[in-house]
Amino acid sequence: MDYEELCLSVCEIARKAGGFIANERKHFNPDKIESKGLHDLVSYVDKTSEKVIIEALSTLLPESGFIAEEGTSNKKGDRFNWVIDPLDGTTNFIQGVPVYAVSIGLLEGEELVLGVVYEICRDECFFSWKGGKAYLNGDEIHVSKTSDMHDALLATGFPYSNFSQLDSYMGLLKWSMTEARGVRRLGSAATDLAYVACGRFDAFFEYDLKPWDVAAGAFIVQQGGGKIADFNCGESYLFGGEIIASNAPLLAEMQQKVDEFMN
């Protein structure tokens, strides 16, 4: 398998889907919004983008299956499965807030081997493949070297439907606000992780996530020299719903505080 060639092809697929999304935003009709659950929105744009992506990936790797947010394909691959969020940051898109992305990761068995995050509004494509480095629009990127939490800019996401850990999370957020340089919430986990990969954010943490939110971004962080863990300091971040992403110096402190407040 030529992962590099495959990855570059996926970048083009993500850009094509992103172009469709950007064009639809110009005349988006909010009457076409649907609700999948409490504060969990979807539109024809998400669904059409996913269909475009799946069709292209099926041509690229015919034997592959899909783990996709909108469920437009339930095909399972014996060896390869794409993990897709066709529009990460749907609420931002609907409201016209310019932070949303296409996220495409590839699992070979249980191992992530490729990741592409295309942040549409800034025309920034973050990508990496197994055996390669991490890139932003062709330029190599790395996680930050920040080692002091007081110098760190953190990112997180706010729960919007699962409030079971809200009190604990607020304690962690208070600590983050008082100890770090700042805390940001963009509304797109894929973009948050991509920003960790290129050093814009020094760390990211969130709970109640899905595989398609984090697969591509987490892989790119690791390829950019970063570290990924779940809230129990383990490796169940992909399907476990919890993630911490940072550089090596900050990860231990982040893990300690997440364990203190959330476990």
pLDDT in tens, 237-258: 999 999 999 999 999 999 999 9
Does residue 157 carry a pLDDT above 60?
yes
pLDDT band for position 71 (cuts 50, 70, 90): confident
Domain C-terminal end among 112, 140, 168: 140
Query: Do 213 and 240 touch, CB atoms closer than 8 A?
Result: no
Domain C-terminal end among 108, 140, 172: 140
**Predicted local confidence at residue 19, as pLDDT:** 97
Which tens digit of pLDDT belongs to each residue from 2-53? 999 999 999 999 999 999 999 999 988 777 777 766 555 578 899 999 999 9
Residues 83 and 169 in one domain: no
Residues 132 and 191 in one domain: no
Residues 136 and 7 in one domain: yes
Angle between helices 44-60 and 3-25 (to 10 degrees): 160
Binding residues: 69, 85, 87-88, 213
* Alpha-helix runs per DSSP H in 26-82: 44-60
More confident residue, 78 or 34: 78
**Predicted local confidence at residue 40, as pLDDT:** 55
How far apart are alpha carbons 144 and 97 in whole angstroms?
26
Residues 206 and 77 in one domain: no
Residues 193 and 124 in one domain: no
Which tens digit of pLDDT belongs to each residue from 103-141? 999 999 999 999 999 999 999 999 999 999 999 999 999
**Predicted local confidence at residue 164, as pLDDT:** 87
Binding residues for Mg(2+): 69, 85, 87-88, 213
Query: Do 243 and 262 touch, CB atoms closer than 8 A?
Result: no
**Predicted local confidence at residue 159, as pLDDT:** 82
Domain C-terminal end among 106, 121, 140: 140
Other CB atoms within a 10 A radius of the CB of residue 156 amount to: 20
Q: Is the full-model pTM beyond 0.85?
A: yes
**Predicted local confidence at residue 263, as pLDDT:** 84
pLDDT band for position 150 (cuts 50, 70, 90): very high
Which tens digit of pLDDT belongs to each residue from 86-99? 999 999 999 999 99
Residues 53 and 125 in one domain: yes
Q: Could you give the percent of the chain with pLDDT greater than 70?
A: 98
Residues 161 and 244 in one domain: yes
Parent domain of 116: 3-140
Tell me the average pLDDT across 71-99: 92
**Predicted local confidence at residue 52, as pLDDT:** 95
Which tens digit of pLDDT belongs to each residue from 168-187? 999 999 999 999 999 999 99
Q: What are phi and psi of 63, to 5 degrees?
A: -85, 0
pLDDT band for position 161 (cuts 50, 70, 90): confident
